[in-house]
Structure 1
């Protein structure tokens, strides 16, 4: 419902210098110590007692109470739907203000877990405003994902915000979901993305060269791994630094369930890293007979040589369990048989 311009402007006066940014400092506050509970009842009980930092520069802080004051000053909180509200030019300017740390009011609403207000803002804003990146290159979708606000993620992706934008570590929001193990957030993004956009995001590498598949395997999030495979992730894509596939990563972590899942879905058992090592080289080199056996059962080529001209057998180092996996021919020295395995 529209009000006079003077009345609206009076409601929008606030100390903007108190608002600042950053999920980095927020995530440094231990959850068990900051008085925050994930249940809505406990959140309501505690919100009046706490002060939470959200500046990457720790220049000042914003309390949940003061954010509540800002919400009350905004007429959007009095509308059943943001689309039904009418705004003065000053009020629109307030809603779209970017702080010195790069945050919009939507960033701040998400950081402070004001999910209802965040969804109202999403209803109001255009996608280009919701794709603004703060000084840490985080979009509202990055922040909502990091804080596991799946309903906010759903609202954002339904408005077709960008899934491709990368933060200061090169992570897309889907990378963040795969790192944190937030299946619901990842599912919302993958379910709503067009096939072309999803393919791009699944192939995107962060600054460490890792795709979302590598990240999910690295953190042993098996449920997310299954979701990524179901959504068409390339199982043989190589990370950018050493050429490891997800199978190489799983073998390095001694993660037999992940190795099984990848092999059963058709991962190339003989894929080689940039140095020529296959997953079998890694398993044998790490003396992991269980995973070496899984790879052999999947048809791993035991005679592939890496750039050091080594086969997997050369790395067995006398491990009887691993040596038993390799067939031997008679050993000859200068043409004379000195040991027979027949």
Structure 2
């Protein structure tokens, strides 16, 4: 999926990059790059071809180069003098494609008002200006193009409609807008994936967008090219919130993909311990076989996922392979992570050390329980003397782990039992639990921690605040929440960049525009040049 995304914009981006070098460009192209309108007038008066193609650089026209430069006055002058508004370079990219990808609403309006065709496809990837506008994250631009006749359900070479892109790029406002205007929530791309599949694959796409797609009629039993349903994908990628919602909505738990694997097979094969446990609790069959005769425990055995092997066998799965029946003594760490309270009690009574980190374990049993999210196990371990501030091998406390995993109930319970909310880990990131929750896009945990007094300006090893990380990772809702709660939107990391800078560099235009509207600053020229539809805001 990421590959398709990169390939889609490659044709446009090559054109944008190429115009940055003009040593071999024709005089008209060179003076436009320099941005001197008087020199442009002079060269044209001397007979330069206003539609000349730069044969050294992707056959860009002067208008292409003017759009990349971002000077609307030059664009207006060239069009007034007869520049072809829909000129195509060798990739079939028009000036409108370029302006839309850059999120330049004013520029797009002028081009369309002067005859630019909104539904032209580029030659290589068959993307339209609407596809490009959705990539930019500019909702107003998307709305404008639709008002001018942009086709909402047009597919690019990869079968993606703009809605696929909005979901993948985590632009929920644009996705909702497209659906309201008729986007087909069940249209499939070349991988046979609907936007619902894309929402599951994209770690940045918010859970609320996933549920919105279902509310708008997305088929929860749709099949991709491998025969997988959304439940298979959620199981394999560890998306517990999505998996639970799908099952609540009636998704078939024993459904098989083309090779005969059920969601339980997928979860066991990919070492998704929590998913395995949840599916078993929901009645998933333990010994169902794939087309080639393998059970979930067989697949877990192939990956040497001992915790899952032990759990499945403890629940009655049959281990046909001799190697799986050997040395299956479950450790207290394993029991804690899978939430087996009976086994935890048995092992503690048998002498297991409650605060010792084993050679192969990442942390103490309480770390494991925090990761698994089982409140009964967490409560029992604390009652028996588990250290709340014990550190795992990464320097994280159980509260860090619970926050990182998005286990809100565990976070609340640990905090209520006295866990330090602003403790800084001693590992690679040296961050707080709030940093951990932000890193993994767990908005509900972020909200709770902030409400309970988490420091908004806490710094990790790289001097990044939680807001900086949210901007860097593309988590718009968290950026908005932290900003509303008073986080410093101009706090610099050790690289000297501020949240707005990093949002621009990572092409999160919706975040960049939001931060600018709230007073975000841009100090380095590179970010100013890259800013999407931000020139007027920067000047304020």
Q: Which bracket does the TM-score occupy, shorter chain normalised?
A: 0.5 to 0.7
Match of 2:12 among 14, 17, 23: 23
- What is the TM-score when the length of structure 2 is the normalising length? 0.43
The CA distance in 1 between the partners of 2:260 and 2:276, in whole Å, is: 17
1:1-342 correspondence runs (5 A): 22-25=11-14, 58=58, 62=65, 63-65=68-70, 68-72=73-77, 74=79, 94-119=84-109, 121-122=111-112, 129-136=117-124, 137-193=126-182, 198-199=184-185, 202-206=186-190, 208-220=191-203, 221=205, 222-240=207-225, 242-317=226-301, 319-326=309-316
Distance 1:290 1:65, change over 3 A: closer
Q: Is the 8 A contact 1:269 1:300 kept in 2?
A: yes
Deviates further, 66-75 or 172-181? 66-75
The CA distance in 2 between the partners of 1:27 and 1:246, in whole Å, is: 37
Q: Is the 8 A contact 1:110 1:118 kept in 2?
A: yes
Distance 1:65 1:210, change over 3 A: closer
The CA distance in 1 between the partners of 2:17 and 2:79, in whole Å, is: 30
What per-residue deviation string (whole Å, max 9, x for no partner) do you get for residues 34-56 of structure 1?
xxxxxxxxxxxxxx89xxxxx9x
The CA distance in 1 between the partners of 2:96 and 2:300, in whole Å, is: 56
> How far did residue 135 of structure 1 move?
1.8
Q: Is the 8 A contact 2:232 2:262 kept in 1?
A: yes
What per-residue deviation string (whole Å, max 9, x for no partner) do you get for residues 265-311 of structure 1?
22221111101100011122334331112112333233432101233
What per-residue deviation string (whole Å, max 9, x for no partner) do you get for residues 162-191 of structure 1?
223222333221121122111122111111
What per-residue deviation string (whole Å, max 9, x for no partner) do you get for residues 236-289 of structure 1?
11111x211121112111222221222222222111110110001112233433
The CA distance in 1 between the partners of 2:104 and 2:137, in whole Å, is: 13
What per-residue deviation string (whole Å, max 9, x for no partner) do you get for residues 122-162 of structure 1?
56769xx3211012311010100111111111222344522
> How far did residue 94 of structure 1 move?
3.8
Distance 1:158 1:322, change over 3 A: farther
SS in structure 1 at match of 2:184:
helix
The CA distance in 1 between the partners of 2:17 and 2:196, in whole Å, is: 26
The CA distance in 1 between the partners of 2:292 and 2:76, in whole Å, is: 64
The CA distance in 2 between the partners of 1:27 and 1:170, in whole Å, is: 24
- Partner of residue 331, structure 1: none
Distance 1:159 1:304, change over 3 A: farther
The CA distance in 1 between the partners of 2:77 and 2:260, in whole Å, is: 62
- What root-mean-square deviation, in Å, do the aligned CA atoms of Structure 1 and Structure 2 show? 3.5
Distance 1:112 1:177, change over 3 A: closer
Q: Is the 8 A contact 2:259 2:290 kept in 1?
A: yes
Q: Is the 8 A contact 1:142 1:173 kept in 2?
A: yes
The CA distance in 2 between the partners of 1:326 and 1:155, in whole Å, is: 59
The CA distance in 1 between the partners of 2:127 and 2:145, in whole Å, is: 14
What per-residue deviation string (whole Å, max 9, x for no partner) do you get for residues 58-80 of structure 1?
555724255541135557xxxxx
- What is the TM-score when the length of structure 1 is the normalising length? 0.65
The CA distance in 2 between the partners of 1:134 and 1:297, in whole Å, is: 50
- Partner of residue 32, structure 1: none
Q: Which runs of 5+ in 1 are unaligned?
A: 1-20, 30-47, 50-54, 76-89, 329-342
Distance 1:160 1:263, change over 3 A: farther
SS in structure 1 at match of 2:163:
helix
How many equivalent residue pairs? 262
